[in-house]
Amino acid sequence: MKVHGRCHCGAIRYEAEVDPARAQACHCTDCQRLSGSPFRVSIPAPRESFVLLSGDPRIYVKTADSGNRRAQAFCAGCGSPIYSSALADPPMYSLRVACLDERADLPPRKQIWCRSSLDWAMDVRELPQAERQ
């Protein structure tokens, strides 16, 4: 499936090919802090399909507990997270689904790092809902 993404301010635009069956929600504490949310949904895109159309993401290097270092790409203007990847010659880019135009068609198919999940974030269907603020 071809996807089209952009940051909030529109300075960074990109496109890629993804397999919708590979979308996943990650509950690790790194994803919580880096997204400012209880989990982050991402989808892998092969390097050869990822095309940066405009802008130049800023890179923050995160070192995991395992010692692995990952590039965290984001827009320097608005702060939107764009992707994460290996530092050198990445085989895949882990695209942030919320920044994709096709996000409604990419529900997570699995959840990972659930041991770090926030209990209240696992099911919010019963909370009151409003169309607007």
CATH number, span 2-118: 2.170.150.70
What confidence score (pLDDT) does residue 89 get?
A: 82
pLDDT of residue 79: 96
Strand (E) or helix (H) holding 71: strand 69-74
Determine the pLDDT at residue 84: 95
pLDDT of 60: 95
| Residue 50: strand, helix, or coil | coil
Low-confidence ranges of the chain (pLDDT < 70): none
105 φ, ψ (degrees, to nearest 5): -95, 10
| Sheet of 58-63, strand order | 58-63, 69-74, 81-86, 92-96, 40-46, 24-26, 110-112
How much is the pLDDT for 73?
96
Residues 6+ away with beta carbon under 8 Å from 52: 12, 13, 14
d(CA 57, CA 77): 9
Q: List, for residues 13-47, the tens digit of each pLDDT value.
A: 999 999 999 999 999 999 999 999 999 999 999 99
* Phi, psi for residue 59 in degrees, rounded to 5: -115, 130
Q: What is the pLDDT of residue 65?
A: 76
- The neighbouring-strand residues paired with 51 are 15
Report the distance separating Cα 34 and Cα 81, nearest Å: 8
- For residue 92, what pLDDT is reported? 94
pLDDT at 82: 97
For residue 128, what pLDDT is reported? Answer: 85
Q: Where are the domains of the chain?
A: 2-118
